Structures are given as C-alpha cells and as structure tokens.
Amino acid sequence: MNKEIVVNICMGTGGIAGGADEVLATFREQMGDAGVNGQVKEHCAVHQVGCRGFCARDVLVDITIDGERSTYQYIKPDMVSRLVEEHIICSTPIEEWLVGEDYHQFHDLQKKIVLADCGKIDPEDIQAYINIGGYQALQKVLSKMSPSEVIETVKKSGLQGRGGAGFPTGLKWELCAANNDDPKYIICNADEGDPGAFMDRSVIEGNPHSVIEGMCIGAYAIGSPQGYVYIRAEYPLAVERLKRALNQARELGFLGESICGTKFNFDIKMKLGAGAFVCGEETALIASIEGERGMPRAKPPYPAQKGLWGKPTIINNVETWANLPPIINKGADWYSSIGCETSKGTKVFALTGKIRNTGLIEVPMGIPLRDIIFDIGGGIEGGKLLKAVQTGGPSGGCIPQQHIDLEMDYKKLLEVGSMMGSGGMVVLDESDCMVNIAKFFLEFTQAESCGKCTPCRLGTKRLLEILTRITEGEGRKGDIELLQDLASDVKDTSLCGLGMSAPNPVISTIKYFRHEYEAHIHDKHCPAKVCRKLLTFFIREDLCVGCGMCKKACPTGAAEGKNKSPHHIDTSECIKCGACYDVCKFKAVLKE
C-alpha cells in the first residue's frame, strides 16, 4: 500500500490549550517515516502547524493522503488510534468527526495574505518556509532592486500601517530614509495588549519568518543595520518560536553580516515587554527598549525623525511587516487591486464575543461588516439579536446594528465613531448593557494609563467614577452631558494615543445608546438586566419546587421558605448579589 501521507496538527496557543501536545505525540507514536505498523510503505509525516483560525474547533487535524485533504475538529488523544486505523490505513474518513459546512464557509469567504501559510507549515522549521518561497522576496530586493525602488513599490501598493493609525507605510519609510542621521533602526511592535486580540501573536506563532523577512526588506529600504522585536512576555509560545526563527535565519545567512552574499548587514534583537498596554504606543515602546519606564513622549519629533536613542526609527506592527514579502513577490499592482479605494489589501481581525464562529480571520479591506458577522462569523450565538460591534479594542467605539452594512475602511470607521485599531472585533448582543460595556473598557484604559499627563491620568478616572455611579443606580441629572464634556476634553488634551482614544467607548455608546444611559439615570433601570444593583430579584411561586438552593446560596438570608414549598425573597434584605439567580436550576428566580 503506497501512499503519501501528511498529518498537520494545530499547535497554536488555542490548539495547545485544547490538548494538541498529546494529540501530536500520539500521532507520532503511531506513525513514522517507516510507515504505519508496516502497512503503509511510503512517506508518512506528522507536522505541527500554527493557528488555523477557527480556534473554537481545536484541536484541528488535517489528514492529507495523496493530495486529498480531510479536516477533523475537537480531536482528543484517545481518538487518534481510530483515525490511523480507519482513515490512514483503510482510507475511510470518519464522517462524524469531520468539520462541517460552517467551517468551510468560515474560510472560503476570507482572503488570506498574512495568514496564507499559517496552519500549513511548521513554524519551527525554516526549511518549511523556504519550501513555499520564503526569503525569495529578500533575495529579490537585494539582487534586483535599489532601496528607493523598494520604498516606491511599498508606496504604490497602498499598504497602511496595520497597528491602528493606518499611516501610509511607504511614506513613513521615505521620510526616514531621507534622514541623513545614522544609524537608523527598525522595530516590530508585537506588544499586542487589546483585550480579546490575538492577531500578532498568532502570526508569530504560525509563521515567524514572514515577519523577519519583512523587517529585513524594510531595513534594506531605509539603510538600517539593527532591528528589534518588542514582544510581550505573556506570549511564551510566540517568544520561543521567534527566538528559534531568528537563530535559524542567522544560521542560513538571512540575518547577520553579508546577507545572501551581499554587502547588506542587518540583525534583529528581541525585547520582552512587561505587559504595559501603553507600551503599544510607539514612543513609550522606544523608551522601554532604551531601558526607561514605558511612558510616551510628545510628538513631534516623530520616531522617523528622532526615535530609538535619538536616531531615525521605523516602527510597524507584526501584520504590516508580514505583508511585505507578498508585496515584493507579487507586485504593488496586485496588492492595490485588493480592498477598496481608500484602504488597500486585507486586514486580520480577532473575531470574539457573542458570535457562533469565534477565531482569527483575514478579509479584504472594504468588506461589509454584515459579511463578517453573519457569513464568516455565522451570526449571533443563541439566536439573539445583534446590538453592536466593538472595533479597535478598548480605544475603539461601538458600531450599532443600524450600521451593519458599514464597509471596513479606516475612514468610514472613524466617521461612525470607531476605528480599525490593530484588529480586535467584539460582537455584542441584546443581552449586553452598553453603559456597562463602556465602563468595562474604561476600567482597562484607566488602569493602563501611565499617569504622565493629567488629562489621561485624572480624566479617565473621573469618567470611570461617573460610569460606575450610573451602573450602581446613583446616576444624576446632567451625568450624560458631564460625560460628553469630560470625554471631549480628555480626547483633545491627552499626550498620547491611549488618552486620546480612551473616551471613544463612552462617546460612541452615548451617541447610539443614549436611551440606555437615560434609563439607568432617570428610571434606575438597566434594560439589558445586567447591572445588578439596578435589578429586583423575585421568585415565581408556580415555578419554585422548594428545593432550598436559593436559601443556601443567599448570604443575607433574604431568600426564605419551607422545604418543598414555594420560597420568596425579602427585598429589604436582598443585596442584589444574584447568587439565588445563579443557583436556581428551575429558572424560578427572575430579575427585572
């Protein structure tokens, strides 16, 4: 029985959390180059790969026999023996374990450039990257293109920085290259700190050499001898794979001196961040690399003029760097043909929240939000109604359901009060309280403020205090106007992007969900029934069986009643903790 067999196992963070380590070990135990139990005589290979995108279905396993691929989901170690026996040896796929149509729809509607090879190659094997054309773009620029030609290609492609601001990448490089102050530096910003965001982490875990190659191309374009990857230490798998990739690139001559046999010298160091969200801001990141406390500096001068150690510096994020090799290989015209008029190429999003298909996606710029939520994402979980979509992380805004056909474009997102950001996308449904959502994001940005400037340090604190009062039933007349005025002041006067964008969740939720603020303040009522201090808990006697669970859970004795008889709640004693609601198996405890 002569077969060409390849097994790929998702070993991204999600896959490993689901037990991929054991799945991989079990496959390797049962398979090898000599064949499976001596029955398969040809090549059998078991590979680890990076994130496949559909993280909710991990552990994902691809089995490819003579070019025909089958994808399995939710695989556990004890399922491997049957896969080997029935699929690999007997060529009979196990239908009930295969992914469904929703999995294929999730991927088929995407356009992958940055993620094209994540989930297909072993991220810890440089040869796997080379086999798919890796480092050809670097060799092309070194042998056939001048630095100015590289910059012109990037400008013509229309690539904008994917870290959030969307500044034209080629223009930034041009400004830096024109600066005669040497040395110049290249930095990859991998300090991904948005709640629910895992785009950059997944790219480094799944294809670290694409980032290294992109940085080498950028270094050649501006004449930089030294680069840095600033990556958060909370990403241990990404850190380990990047470290391995850097060593492999040096060993094969793609980093260091005389790269690819030319006079071009360039190397990359790795700097671990300590988890400060503010260090995602470029000047704070530079301060951290320099050994200083990560705090922003006033601009101008911009880093391209005066950055790391006072020298011209280019900072782009992981996704931006990973776009460079495809642009060089396929051309600027190819890249600019993707996307829309004002935003070219694709964008990677971390799709999370109240949605059926959570995971990592890459879509063309300009795609309607509706296509992402209902086609790729599969719609709202539990059949509930869409209320809003938060884009741009904690510094972004909430896009209401009425703008579901909005095109994902830098300019159009700003027009509705949100932003592209680095790519976080949180879906909210009818059960979410928008006042509480604004409070949640303010809690994060207020805690992450470095405290250097007064508007951000005190302004975010005051915004959070007002939001907390409102959600606890202590809202006052004029609070909405006070929030708007304060948010505007913080936005206009803060030193860096954190403070400038921190009020966005407040501004956008008041704009589109003012009625929820008014209900909290004037009616002392939370329409979504989320803010517990605004709720009243009671027991429906016709549903209560008298099990006594509510009475046992109640910390104040407010839940009362005899065994096997309907219970009731003394509202004068109830502290609205919700313990009775959480433990009732018969749904007899209600809230209003």
According to the model, what pLDDT value does residue 66 have?
Answer: 87
Tell me how far apart the alpha carbons of residues 510 and 369 are, in angstroms, rounded to a whole number: 21
Residue linked to tokens 């065994």: 563
Q: What value, to the nearest 5°, has the Cα angle with vertex 350 and ends 191 and 168?
A: 60
pLDDT at 194: 80
Q: Is the confidence at residue 303, as pLDDT, over 90? A: yes
Quote the pLDDT of residue 383: 87
**Would you call 189 helix, strand, or coil by DSSP?**
strand
pLDDT at 34 over 70: no
Residue 394 pLDDT exceeds 80 = yes
CATH architecture of the region 126-336: 3-Layer(aba) Sandwich (3.40)
Q: Which residue carries 């440089």 as its tokens? A: 126
pLDDT at 88 over 80: yes
Question: 94-98, 363-367, 415-419, 517-521 — which is least confidently predicted?
Answer: 415-419
Confidence of residue 40 (pLDDT cuts 50, 70, 90): low
Task: Find out whether 188 and 228 touch, Cβ atoms under 8 Å.
Answer: yes
Domain boundaries, the chain: 5-99, 126-336, 346-429, 434-522, 535-591
Give the whole-angstrom CA distance, residue 23 versus residue 56.
17
Q: How far apart are CA 432 and CA 471, in angstroms?
A: 13
Examine the pLDDT at 226 and tell me if it is beyond 70.
yes
Residue 584 has pLDDT above 80, yes or no: yes
Statement: residue 35 has pLDDT above 70: no
The domain 5-99 having CATH identifier 3.40.30.10: the answer here is yes
The side-by-side arrangement of strands in the sheet containing 61-65 is: 44-49, 5-10, 61-65, 68-72
Residue 69: pLDDT band with limits 50, 70, 90: very high
CB-CB neighbours of 24 under 10 Å: 23
**Alpha carbons 575 and 126: distance in angstroms, whole number:** 59
**Rounded Cα distance, 64 and 70, in Å:** 6
CATH number of 535-591: 3.30.70.20
Residue 537 DSSP SS3: strand
Highest CATH level, class, for 434-522: mainly alpha
The CATH topology of domain 346-429 is Ubiquitin-like (UB roll) (3.10.20)
Residue 36: band (very low, low, confident or very high) from pLDDT cuts 50, 70, 90? low
CA dist., res. 154 & res. 332, Å (int): 7
pLDDT bracket for residue 486 (50, 70, 90): very high
Residue 223 φ/ψ, nearest 5 degrees: 80, 50
What is residue 556's predicted lDDT score, i.e. its pLDDT? Answer: 92
Most trustworthy range by pLDDT among 259-268, 533-542, 572-581: 259-268
Single out the residue of 572, 578, 568, 577 nearest to residue 538, CA to CA: 568
17 sits in which H/E element: helix 13-17
For residue 75, how many C-alpha atoms fall within 13 Å in the half-sphere facing its CB?
A: 34
Rounded mean pLDDT, 205-213:
97
Dist CA 24 CA 214 (whole Å) = 30
| Mean pLDDT score, 87-105 | 92
Q: On the CB side of 443, how many CA atoms lie within 13 Å of its CA?
A: 9
pLDDT of residue 120: 92
Residue 212 has pLDDT above 80, yes or no: yes
Strands (E), 385-436: 386-391, 397-400, 424-429
| Residue entry with tokens 């799944």 | 206
Q: Calculate the average pLDDT of the chain.
A: 93
Q: Which residues touch 403 (CB under 8 Å, ≥6 apart)?
A: 369, 416
Q: What percent of the chain has pLDDT over 70?
A: 98
Strand (E) or helix (H) holding 49: strand 44-49
In this prediction, residue 546 has a pLDDT band, given cuts at 50, 70 and 90, of very high
Average of per-residue pLDDT across 396-419: 93
Instruction: List the beta bridge partners of residue 273.
Output: 232
Share of the chain above pLDDT 90, in %: 83
| Separation of alpha carbons 147 and 390, rounded Å | 39
Residue 56 confidence (pLDDT): 86
